[in-house]
Structure 1
Amino acid sequence: MEKFRDLRADEIDCRVAIVKDSGVSILLYKDARCDMNILDEAIGITNWKRHHEVINGNLFCTVEVWDEEKKEWISKQDVGKESYTEKEKGQASDSFKRACFNLGIGRELYTAPFIWIPNKYVNIEQGRNGKPTTNDKFKVEKIVIEKKRIVGLSIINDTTHKRVFIYDGRTEEEKNGDKGENK
Structure 2
Amino acid sequence: MFDELKAPFAQEDLEWRVQRAGMHKDNGEWAIVLTYITNRAIMDRLDAVVEPQNWQNLFTEGPDGGVMCGIGLRCITKRDGRSDWRWKWDGAPNTDIESVKGGLSDAMKRAAVHWGIGRYLYKLPATWAKITKNGKYTARGQDKYSEVKYNFKWDPPDLPDWALPQDDRLVDTDYIKETQDKIARLIDDSKDILSEESIQTYRLDYGAIQSNEDARNALGAVEDDLIKLRRGERKAEKEIY
Measure how far apart 1:74 and its partner are. Answer: 1.3
- Aligned CA distance change for structure 1 residues 125 and 145 (closer, same or farther; 3 Å): closer
CA contact (8 A) 1:13 1:139 kept: no
Q: 1:41 & 1:32 partners in 2: Cα distance?
A: 14
Q: 1:90 & 1:10 partners in 2: Cα distance?
A: 20
Match of 1:60 among 62, 68, 81: 68
Identity within the alignment, %: 22
Match of 2:20 among 4, 18, 36: 18
CA contact (8 A) 2:34 2:125 kept: no
Name whichever structure is richer in helix by fraction: 2
- Aligned position for 2:162: 145
Q: 1:53 & 1:126 partners in 2: Cα distance?
A: 36
Q: Which has the larger radius of gyration?
A: 2
Matches of residues 28-47 of structure 1 in structure 2 within 5 Å? 28-47=35-54
Match of 1:51 among 58, 66, 72: 58
Measure how far apart 1:50 and its partner are. Answer: 0.6
- Aligned position for 1:76: 88
Q: 1:138 & 1:13 partners in 2: Cα distance?
A: 11
Q: 2:34 & 2:92 partners in 1: Cα distance?
A: 18
CA contact (8 A) 1:126 1:132 kept: yes
Confirm or deny that 1:101 pairs with 2:108: no
How many residue pairs get aligned? The number is 150
TM-score of the two chains, using structure 2 as the length reference: 0.53
Match of 2:102 among 57, 78, 90: 90
Structure 1: tracts of 5 or more residues without a match: 147-151, 153-174
Q: 2:86 & 2:75 partners in 1: Cα distance?
A: 7
Q: 2:140 & 2:72 partners in 1: Cα distance?
A: 45
- Aligned CA distance change for structure 1 residues 19 and 145 (closer, same or farther; 3 Å): same
Q: 1:63 & 1:37 partners in 2: Cα distance?
A: 14
Measure how far apart 1:141 and its partner are. Answer: 5.3
- Aligned CA distance change for structure 1 residues 85 and 66 (closer, same or farther; 3 Å): same
Name whichever structure is richer in strand by fraction: 1
